[in-house]
């Protein structure tokens, strides 16, 4: 019996000592909060703000170590990725992009985190609330400032019909034939893939929040995997290109590709890219194909965005049915 009490005492001492190790969370001042309608703010405050803002509210059980350590880590990472208390510092287009990703995470069930919902009942976003958020980010809303294509001049990109050309049904930037040697690799070392313009079209999508149309292309290995229905996991060597253009109005009241914006790639190599879920990532923007990001950490945007589709080997796009 004494041995039992001895171990109880040891555990109690360790438990008390653990409470003394407390990474600081804190709530910095709210400097640039998201400006959104009250119904949108209400949903975000209830389901997102505890991690993604400077207004974190901790329940008593959140403050008990070792659980507190996990909470502190999650809040730090969440604020770094998206902070509703500072998001208004970003350009309007970047704000909408961040919100689009957040709503997409909610739609896919990745946010709020399942473990957070389990410990905090009432924070799950209901289908009705999701509809409110989606309406707020309504694709190609008439009130958005980029609803019409710009008139070209000497300092602007060429007119929409001149910004894209087709090679074997696959579009590429029409900035003249750039030498592959002049295109810098991505900041993580990912090289610009030569010959991607001849890859086959797999699917198409759009981003209404930032008014872009996108086409997804696959290389021969990816196309073969699709034909053989071996896409989960995708084989090493499979690669995809996603080309984005500004959406421009056509003569029939619809939309057509306008100014070329960027091309981004993901390539499968389970060993080489083990630290990034088995995929290598790269993105080049503008007609001069400038590598994206400030440093190699840009890849975190890619892996975070694709995390909800881990069950599909981190690939969003399903091939078009023939």
- Domain definitions of the chain by residue range: 20-136, 160-312
Average pLDDT over residues 126-144: 79
Is-contact 40 90, C-beta < 8 A?
Answer: no
Q: What is the pLDDT of residues 298-311, one digit of tens each?
A: 999 899 889 888 99
Q: What is the pLDDT of residues 230-249, one digit of tens each?
A: 999 999 999 999 999 998 88
Phi, psi of 28 (to 5 degrees): -60, 165
d(CA 40, CA 18): 39
pLDDT for residue 220 is more than 80: yes
Share of the chain above pLDDT 90, in %: 51
Q: What is the pLDDT of residues 27-49, one digit of tens each?
A: 999 999 999 999 999 999 999 99
Residue 320 confidence (pLDDT): 59
Q: What is the pLDDT of residues 139-188, one digit of tens each?
A: 655 444 333 333 333 333 333 333 334 333 334 554 445 566 689 999 99
CATH assignment of 160-312? 3.50.70.20
| E strand spans, the chain | 164-167, 170-173, 200-207, 212-218, 239-249, 255-268, 279-285, 290-291
Residue 178 confidence (pLDDT): 55
Encoding tokens for residue 232?
């989960």
Q: What is the pLDDT of residues 108-128, one digit of tens each?
A: 888 998 889 999 999 999 999
The helix/strand/coil state of 58 is coil
């Amino acid at each position: 019996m004494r041995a039992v009490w001895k171990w109880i005492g040891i555990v109690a001492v360790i438990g008390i000592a653990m409470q003394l190790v407390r990474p600081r969370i804190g709530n910095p001042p709210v400097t640039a909060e998201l400006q959104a309608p009250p119904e949108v703010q209400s949903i975000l405050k209830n389901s997102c703000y505890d991690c993604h803002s400077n207004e974190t509210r901790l329940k008593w059980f959140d403050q008990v170590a070792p659980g507190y350590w996990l909470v502190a880590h999650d809040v730090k990472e969440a604020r770094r990725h998206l902070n509703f208390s500072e998001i208004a510092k970003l350009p309007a287009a970047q704000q909408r992009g961040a919100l689009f990703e957040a709503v997409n995470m909610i739609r896919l069930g990745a946010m709020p985190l399942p473990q957070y919902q389990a410990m905090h009942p009432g924070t799950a976003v209901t289908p009705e609330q999701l509809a409110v958020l989606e309406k707020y980010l309504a694709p190609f809303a008439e009130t958005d400032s980029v609803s019409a294509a710009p008139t070209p001049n000497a300092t602007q990109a060429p007119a929409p019909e001149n910004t894209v050309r087709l090679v074997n049904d696959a579009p590429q930037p029409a900035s003249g034939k750039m030498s592959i040697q002049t295109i810098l690799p991505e900041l993580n070392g990912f090289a610009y893939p030569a010959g991607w313009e001849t890859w086959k079209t797999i699917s198409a999508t759009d981003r209404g929040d930032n008014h872009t149309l996108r086409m997804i292309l696959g290389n021969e290995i990816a196309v073969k995997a699709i034909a053989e229905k071996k896409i989960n996991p995708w084989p090493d060597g499979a690669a995809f290109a996603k080309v984005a253009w500004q959406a421009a109005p056509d003569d029939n009241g619809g939309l057509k590709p306008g100014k070329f914006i960027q091309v981004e790639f993901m390539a499968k190599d389970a060993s080489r890219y083990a630290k990034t879920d088995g995929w290598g990532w790269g993105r080049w923007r503008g007609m001069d194909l400038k590598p994206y990001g400030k440093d190699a950490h840009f890849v975190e945007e890619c892996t975070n965005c694709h995390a909800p589709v881990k069950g599909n080997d981190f690939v969003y796009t399903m091939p078009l049915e023939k």
